[in-house]
Amino acid sequence: MTKGKIVGLEGSFAVAEAVRMANVDVISAYPITPQTHIVERLAEMIADGELDAEFICVESEHSAMSACVGASAAGARVFTCSASQGLELMHEVLYIPSSMRLPVVAVTANRALSAPLSVWCDHSDAMAIRDIGWIQIFAENNQQAFDLTVCAYRIAEDKEVLFPAMVHIDGFYLSHVIEGVMLPDEEEVAHFIPDYEHPFVLDPEDPVSMGCYGPPFIYPEAKKAQEVDFTNTKPKIQETWDEFGETFGRYYSPVEKYKMEDANIALLTMGSSGETAMLAVDEMREEGRDVGLIRLRLWRPFPFKEFRDAVKDVELLVVLDRAISFGMGGPVCSEVKSALYDKRKDLSIVGFIGGLGGRDIPIDGFKYMVNRALEKVKMIERGEEIETEMIGIRE
């Protein structure tokens, strides 16, 4: 086992510790609730000399990501973080590092989008950026916030990856909650994420042009190359997590299973509600019900194979979305359905939307979803139209 110590840290500080141990060169970020503590802690670390990095102060998230793109193109290891409207303001620039293949690492403290104005957690911001070509990873607790941020550097900077990576931590649920986090030995972390060299950097001695103009004769080839390479990052992501597990004793995979061995019904969650869902599964197991839980750790690139494997023996899949794709239902549910289309005609999939704008989903909420899903399966069998249900809504 690795050396290290357990420290009480809120999720934001756990992220800041990971960024410090990754010894980043440049940080540029703009504060926004509930991400603010990450930026504050990092600024403090730089001011106190605990971290030798350049903090580029900017007037907006758009500029923060732009600064990160420039710094990364010059070969620096960079970090930024945001949430909600801030991530939306950054949106335009988010496409640049993924297309230019710059390994920027970012953390999002997931938060709802306006209006009405909400500073509380849901996954609307995360879902709004699912098509931008960033690796998207969801953490479930503060230990994972630390571990997965460390791994994000190693993954993003891998010569066979070179894509930006974003770690999603649920706003407040992780960002503001203190729990025990095992902080490993700094040297071991440094060893795990060695200095990296991008094959192309902005260097006057060896000039290249980046982010060029792409007329129709080349643009589709550029996108094909990006998509193939992006999809091919999956084995590297798993390999990195395996190696992290061997070094630090905590293992991760794109699709994580809980009590799924003989389960006929599976719940599916992402982010911090996973552990509460585990408690619901425990209670239902005690009642003699064959329910298990699947948590999607990796959202992009979508882990098709691992996901299909995880549900291969299941008859009913109950999906929780913490976001709405207006007019389409829950984005996770519709993607999960498309991942299984033509593969599992015998599997019923029932989606629910819950936990919007910081509304807690208690243990009973998960039990309700399972029971209600069973009723809905019967309705589907009777040929009735089923709409995605939003749970816990007052009439």
The reply to whether 225 sits near other proteins by the rule CB under 8 A is yes
Listed residue (184, 148, 127) closest to 297, CA to CA: 148
Note whether 175 and 12 are within 8 A (CB). yes
Single out the residue of 200, 289, 374, 377 in contact with other proteins (rule: CB under 8 A).
Answer: 200
The reply to whether 115 sits near other proteins by the rule CB under 8 A is no
∠316-318-319 over CA atoms, to 5°? 140
**Least gap, CB of 192 to other proteins (angstroms):** 24
Single out the residue of 221, 242, 243, 375 in contact with other proteins (rule: CB under 8 A).
Answer: 221
Residue 198 identity: H
Region binding other proteins by CB under 8 A among candidate stretches 203-211, 246-254, 283-291, 380-388: 203-211
Nearer to other proteins by C-beta: 133 or 329? Answer: 133
Nearer to other proteins by C-beta: 209 or 383? Answer: 209
The reply to whether 139 sits near other proteins by the rule CB under 8 A is no
Query: How many angstroms from the chain centroid is the CA of residue 147?
Result: 13
| 391 half-sphere exposure, CB direction, 13 A CA radius | 28
Single out the residue of 44, 214, 243, 309 in contact with other proteins (rule: CB under 8 A).
Answer: 214
Report how far residue 72's alpha carbon sits from residue 250's, in angstroms, rounded to the nearest whole number: 29
The reply to whether 102 sits near other proteins by the rule CB under 8 A is yes
Report how far residue 109's alpha carbon sits from residue 174's, in angstroms, rounded to the nearest whole number: 8
Single out the residue of 44, 47, 180, 305 in contact with other proteins (rule: CB under 8 A).
Answer: 180
Report how far residue 291's alpha carbon sits from residue 119's, in angstroms, rounded to the nearest whole number: 33
The reply to whether 183 sits near other proteins by the rule CB under 8 A is no
Single out the residue of 19, 358, 366, 376 in contact with other proteins (rule: CB under 8 A).
Answer: 358
Token code pair at residue 29: 């970020």
Using alpha carbons only, how large is the chain's radius of gyration in Å? 21
DSSP 248-284: HS----SEEEES-TT-SEEEEE-TTHHHHHHHHHHHH
Query: How many angstroms from the chain centroid is the CA of residue 382?
Result: 38
Pairing of strands 4-10, 178-184: antiparallel
**Least gap, CB of 90 to other proteins (angstroms):** 19
The reply to whether 6 sits near other proteins by the rule CB under 8 A is yes
The reply to whether 72 sits near other proteins by the rule CB under 8 A is no
Considering only residues 263 to 322 of the shown chain, the ones binding other proteins according to CB under 8 A are 272-273, 275-276, 278-279
Query: 300: part of which helix (H) or strand (E)?
Result: strand 298-300
Nearer to other proteins by C-beta: 66 or 348? Answer: 66
Single out the residue of 210, 339, 347, 391 in contact with other proteins (rule: CB under 8 A).
Answer: 210
Note whether 266 and 176 are within 8 A (CB). no
The reply to whether 148 sits near other proteins by the rule CB under 8 A is no
3-class secondary-structure state, position 32: coil
| 264 half-sphere exposure, CB direction, 13 A CA radius | 9
The reply to whether 199 sits near other proteins by the rule CB under 8 A is yes
The reply to whether 85 sits near other proteins by the rule CB under 8 A is no
Region binding other proteins by CB under 8 A among candidate stretches 24-32, 43-51, 175-183, 230-238: 175-183
The reply to whether 249 sits near other proteins by the rule CB under 8 A is no
Give the binding site for other proteins (CB under 8 A): 6-8, 33-34, 99-102, 119-121, 162, 172-173, 176-180, 199-200, 207-210, 212, 214, 217-218, 220-222, 224-225, 228-229, 272-273, 275-276, 278-279, 358, 360-363
